[in-house]
Structures are given as C-alpha cells and as structure tokens.
Structure 1
C-alpha cells in the first residue's frame, strides 16, 4: 500500500513538472514568434510549431513594427465559444504596448510540437 501511495505521489510530481515545462516551452514559442522576421523564412522553421499561417505571420510582423516591448503569458484551456471549441490545450497570450493577441495551441504528442488552431486580437486581457 505504501508503494502505491509513493508511486501516485511521484506521478503527480512528474505531472506538475511537465506542466511547468510546457509553460516554459509555450513562452519560448512566443519569444520566437516575436523575434522572427517572417519575410525571410519558411513558416515551418519555428521550433515547437508545426506551421505558422500567413495571417499570424502578418500579425506578428505588424506587432514587431509597432511594439516596443512584449510580455508573455499562458492560460490552460481554450477561449470561450464562439472563438474557442475546447480543442486547444493552451492559449499563448502576447501582451504589447500596441495590441494584445491570444494564440490557441494544441499539443501533438506524435510530432512533439504544437498546432496553432487560431488566434485573435484581445481587447483587455
């Protein structure tokens, strides 16, 4: 019985550590998105992202031109309907002094990368 309890505690600690790692990884995605010059790269070259679509590439270029500082946050889960559909595992929030955006991410275990399910400009987040 004691061994089972120890195993359950260990699994719960590992699970908590994985969530922290994911948050750090998602923040890293945000940093990479804000530092990448999209006019000179293929959309598949961002590590941890399967593909960056044209709309998000254009939005990131706009933010880079009009922003002096970026702040990154993560939120577990998805946006409320109608924009979200409970498919996203996390939302990457990029706050700026210009506009804020939220990017819906879904983890792909097979590829060990994230799909971008969509994004939207946030009013006050």
Structure 2
C-alpha cells in the first residue's frame, strides 16, 4: 500500500507505505490503503480531503456507501474516519495519474518480498 497527502498547492506533505502479508485481493489492498491514508490525514489534523484512487469499484462503494462482504469492516472503518473531516470526497483517477502512490505500493511489496524467508 502506498499513499501521499498533498496540500492545496499539490505539494506532497506526507508520503508513506505499508504492507500486509496476506491480503485477499487488490480491492482489499486499495481499501486498506485509503484507510491508512485517512488515518494519517487525521493525525496531521487535515480538515478537508479529496481521496483519489485508481480503483473504480472502491470509489463507487465509498461514494454510494455500498457494502461488500469482504470489505465490510474496512468500509465501516473508512466511514467512521470520514466523519472526522469537514469535507471529504472520493474521486476515481486513472492509474497513469496515480503513479507516485503506485510506486510506493510496489516498493512496499518489494520490501516484504526481500525480507521473506523460506522455511523448509
């Protein structure tokens, strides 16, 4: 997972990544990334936020407050975090427009792969 927080001038104010050993799908990973980014924004006292994601399915679920069996807990956590912002919106963007966050996520994946050990 990788995310960037940008200020109103589009300057990166915080950038981070994380990894999980077992995530059932790319959609779950994207939802966990949104949750982590919102948690970070709360920590930095951000009051208004636009969340951009290259997952059309996730953005649709977040905008409609829809449900998904696999994502139920994460969607609930995101909804609770969203209540702390004065203004929040979820926007679908093309993957090509999300290169920075995608690069962070891939670096986290490489990091976990490099630290994995084989047990025989």
| TM-score range relative to shorter protein | under 0.3
TM-score computed with the length of structure 2 as normaliser:
0.27
Q: Which has the higher contact order (CA 8 A, sep 6+)?
A: 2
**Larger gyration radius, structure 1 or structure 2:** 1
- Structure with the largest fraction of helix: 2
Normalization by structure 1: what TM-score?
A: 0.26
